[in-house]
Chains A and B, each alone.
Chain A
């Protein structure tokens, strides 16, 4: 039998962010075998930090080099600025997470696995955002999801962590399965798995007066893809896992999930919908608008009554899924820019807030509530001040970049003619003030509860974590001040996407 198979030429340079992090994970795992217990943490952290920096630098270099996008590895992967910008954000979130998790009190004999899994998850996300067909899409999704399931439960001696891991595994697999089924239906209807091909084959059907029988498959498949991506972006009504998982997971991991997973999920949603389904625009924009309203309503209202700060932030993350999907729902290029710009301050601040929660958690050796946050702002003025900046920033107040991100997102939907959606966003922003301001109130305005201080005096200064928070502050404020260059970057990232709405 003659085989027609020929190995595709592989653009190694384009894959370098994925490969560097994956290679780093291998080095960490192997190195941990031979190193003494106490050295593992520092070793893994150093390797992880170096790999994140290198992968981020590679992604930046690719971004600068790539004037236009193209498919590589037989069109399975897309090398373009959208993927590369998302990779920069993911690696940045990873780097900050290294600082946050350095002193996280998990057991030293797990340190190797922890850093390796963190690197592998980032690697999977970098692969996911570049996915150009339904196979690589699913592969990337499972790749990073499996890592996150384990990371959530990595502190096996903590029951809430185990519970969260199990929940995440079951619900997440359910979401993945739906996405896979949707992919199969789309493939069945179009006979194509490449995103551009699907877009090309769906286009002529628009002219048919009688809908083809395949159309049912396409619509169902699209709906299932949306649901699958909604699960990963923790958009309501597919958000049920989020509060439990965010609360149960080790706090640095929560920060990483809130930042990087969301970046990956919404960027891929943008890519898939705009590239493969431009003709079905009137379906998915409306569906996303429904997701947006549900996420804003559910996230913000549920956050009002939370006592646990992590749970509150989980609901805040659900509400931000709404704000992030709003520009995608607009379906125009302004929306694309808005999304990519919004993600920059959002991802940095997400890691930052959970970093502050993490350090308070270590001080108290227990979960952080609004009650036991009292006095924190005056005890640790830098972290308290940063947290206040993040909270005001999440509301959408200057001087954090989310302020401009929200303006952009609102502008995108208003340009589409959906002013009502912007008003919904504005109303729920007003609701969100209550709980974000509640954190500031707890930190600065409530009298401290009398507590028995554990012997040993004040907790040690945690320099890596403080550095990560400082970096998050710089990104948050910097993206506000230097909005113009960042918007140009965002514009370059989405310039190739065929946005369906004018």
Chain B
């Protein structure tokens, strides 16, 4: 029941906004923010009542949708889905708040699409029926397409086409795989599906998740989509939406197809390792703020996939913690990128620099986020990456070496970003009168960083509270 509320509350808010076009920008924005915060509060309530010792999905609902193929509206929360839903509500609340403050054109529609996206994403994280999972999976695409296509930057049309065609091509293969899996098992209920043996079905799932994550070399859509989106959409896209792909590996592809995972583990790990190093290198060479964040996001997602394909408790736990970490980090960084672009009208690192002077809040928040992102010991990202490397070490030490190298690279690109924006000489695009972060911006971004700091002090908040339904 609570899960249904978590899915439907933002969608209902979105629909209400569509039917109230007469609302002023302020009223519409306030309403959307209220819905997003209400959703956040509701999630906190759900998390407090969550029984972490029980295995199996909780707080769910099960309703026949069409009996013919045994498809049901079946949702529920596992411990890992609870944390990913938490990530979603936190990041979306920040994104909605930021979008409201910035003041986009047609704010009612804009913010309602963000809320709709939130509902669909939570649906992906909680669906316990494969067809329902696919419904939510595709439903995420619609608001994203419109958000980027209408409110994006100058190259938005090309970016949306690439994004949609890439993701759909992958997810349609998953659709065929889902139907084949469901017909074989006689049900689409994920709890009753049992272990599958078909490599082809595994590959169908993997195609969709590899594109969405993205795994190297399926990342062609990523740089454009992340650069052309409004910053808060990019924050949601890289912070939350990419996690749905990792979730797909975590909850569906890996546990249901152990045989195929054994066969395909090496190729997947090779791709992910290349993606990790390649993404890190590109992030180091990227000419603009968003490029750095986008490619670092590619690298981190590949690291998460490495953790998942360790297929052991350590790798899985590390991957999950890193999913939450990276979601918060990249959301904060994209919002900071937006703040920087608002002040300088550019994201090019060549034209930036020296912004720390006289802007202590911006400098503090950016450095804090960056330092956590580069996995400095003591940070939550360090805890997560340690677990991932520990997990993959059991599979083969070579993979762990690649991962460790990438952590060094992460330090390089993050420090380069920090120094290129904050230090060095004052860039030509940085006006002297450019303000420090405004209170509203602080109110939106600081909570993300606070959560990150809290997780750094207490990563066990998550790591002690995931059992992956007794999978290991």
Give me the interface of A with B, judged by CB distance under 8 Å: 337, 378, 381, 385, 388, 392, 395, 397-399, 403-404, 406-408, 410-411, 414-415, 419, 422-423, 426-427, 429-430, 433-434, 437, 440-441, 444-446, 483-484, 487-488, 491
The reply to whether A404 and B66 contact each other, CB–CB distance below 8 Å, is: yes
B431 at the interface (CB under 8 A from A): no
The reply to whether A491 and B179 contact each other, CB–CB distance below 8 Å, is: no
Give me the interface of B with A, judged by CB distance under 8 Å: 18, 21, 64-69, 106, 131, 135, 138-139, 141-142, 145-146, 149-150, 156-157, 160-161, 164-165, 168-169, 172-173, 175-176, 179-180, 182-183, 200
* The 5 residue pairs across chains A and B that have the minimum distance between CB atoms: A426-B172, A430-B169, A484-B66, A483-B66, A445-B149
The reply to whether A398 and B138 contact each other, CB–CB distance below 8 Å, is: yes
Known: A484-B66, A491-B68. A430 touches B172 (CB 8 A): yes
CA distance A388 to B183 in the complex (A): 32
CA distance A427 to B171 in the complex (A): 10
Shortest Cβ distance from B175 into A: residue? A426
Contacts of A399 in B (CB 8 A): 135, 139
Contacts of A491 in B (CB 8 A): 68
CA distance A441 to B150 in the complex (A): 8
Shortest Cβ distance from A381 into B: residue? B21
Q: Give the residue of B68, B139, B172, B173 whose beta carbon is less than 8 angstroms from that of A398.
A: B139
Q: Give the residue of B168, B169, B175 whose beta carbon is less than 8 angstroms from that of A407.
A: B175
Q: Shortest Cβ distance from A410 into chain B, in angstroms? A: 5
The reply to whether B138 and A403 contact each other, CB–CB distance below 8 Å, is: yes
Shortest Cβ distance from A444 into B: residue? B150
Contacts of B135 in A (CB 8 A): 398-399, 403
How many interface contacts (CB-CB < 8 Å) are there between A and B? 93
CA distance A147 to B272 in the complex (A): 61
Task: Please report whether the interface of chain B is mostly helix, strand, loop or mixed according to DSSP.
Answer: helix
CA distance A411 to B165 in the complex (A): 23
CA distance A487 to B64 in the complex (A): 13
The reply to whether A483 and B176 contact each other, CB–CB distance below 8 Å, is: no
Known: A410-B175, A422-B176. A444 touches B146 (CB 8 A): yes
Known: A415-B183, A434-B165. A441 touches B68 (CB 8 A): no
The reply to whether A410 and B138 contact each other, CB–CB distance below 8 Å, is: no
Q: Which of B67, B135, B156 has the most CB of A within 10 A?
A: B135
Shortest Cβ distance from A436 into B: residue? B164
CA distance A399 to B182 in the complex (A): 21
Known: A410-B179, A422-B179, A427-B172. A445 touches B150 (CB 8 A): yes
Contacts of A392 in B (CB 8 A): 142
Q: Shortest Cβ distance from A174 into chain B, in angstroms? A: 36
Q: Shortest Cβ distance from B164 into chain A, in angstroms? A: 6
Task: Please report whether the interface of chain A is mostly helix, strand, loop or mixed according to DSSP.
Answer: helix
Contacts of B66 in A (CB 8 A): 404, 483-484, 487
Shortest Cβ distance from A438 into B: residue? B161
Shortest Cβ distance from A409 into B: residue? B179
CA distance A403 to B146 in the complex (A): 19
Q: Give the residue of B18, B173, B176 whose beta carbon is less than 8 angstroms from that of A414.
A: B176
The reply to whether B173 and A426 contact each other, CB–CB distance below 8 Å, is: yes
Contacts of A487 in B (CB 8 A): 66-68
Shortest Cβ distance from B201 into A: residue? A419
The reply to whether A433 and B168 contact each other, CB–CB distance below 8 Å, is: yes
Shortest Cβ distance from A389 into B: residue? B142
Contacts of A445 in B (CB 8 A): 149-150, 156-157, 160
Chosen A-B contacts, 17 in total, with CB atoms closer than 8 Å, are A385-B18, A397-B141, A403-B138, A407-B175, A411-B182, A414-B179, A427-B169, A429-B172, A430-B165, A430-B169, A434-B165, A437-B164, A445-B150, A445-B157, A484-B66, A484-B67, A484-B68
Known: A403-B135, A411-B179, A423-B173. A429 touches B168 (CB 8 A): yes
Q: Shortest Cβ distance from B311 into chain A, in angstroms? A: 27
Contacts of B68 in A (CB 8 A): 337, 484, 487-488, 491
CA distance A433 to B164 in the complex (A): 8
Q: Shortest Cβ distance from A438 into chain B, in angstroms? A: 9
Q: Shortest Cβ distance from A152 into chain B, in angstroms? A: 34
The reply to whether A423 and B176 contact each other, CB–CB distance below 8 Å, is: yes
The reply to whether B65 and A484 contact each other, CB–CB distance below 8 Å, is: yes
CA distance A32 to B169 in the complex (A): 54
Contacts of B106 in A (CB 8 A): 378
CA distance A46 to B106 in the complex (A): 40
Q: Give the residue of A397, A407, A441 whose beta carbon is less than 8 angstroms from that of B149.
A: A441
CA distance A415 to B106 in the complex (A): 47
Q: Which of A399, A427, A430 has the most CB of B within 10 A?
A: A430
Q: Shortest Cβ distance from B204 into chain A, in angstroms? A: 9
Given A422-B179, A426-B176, A434-B161, 10 more pairs with CB closer than 8 A:
A398-B139, A399-B135, A399-B139, A419-B200, A422-B180, A430-B168, A440-B149, A445-B156, A446-B157, A491-B68
The reply to whether A414 and B138 contact each other, CB–CB distance below 8 Å, is: no
CA distance A310 to B34 in the complex (A): 43
CA distance A463 to B25 in the complex (A): 29
The reply to whether A397 and B21 contact each other, CB–CB distance below 8 Å, is: no
Contacts of B145 in A (CB 8 A): 437, 440
CA distance A40 to B160 in the complex (A): 48
The reply to whether B183 and A437 contact each other, CB–CB distance below 8 Å, is: no
The reply to whether B179 and A407 contact each other, CB–CB distance below 8 Å, is: yes
Contacts of A440 in B (CB 8 A): 145-146, 149
Contacts of A407 in B (CB 8 A): 69, 131, 175, 179
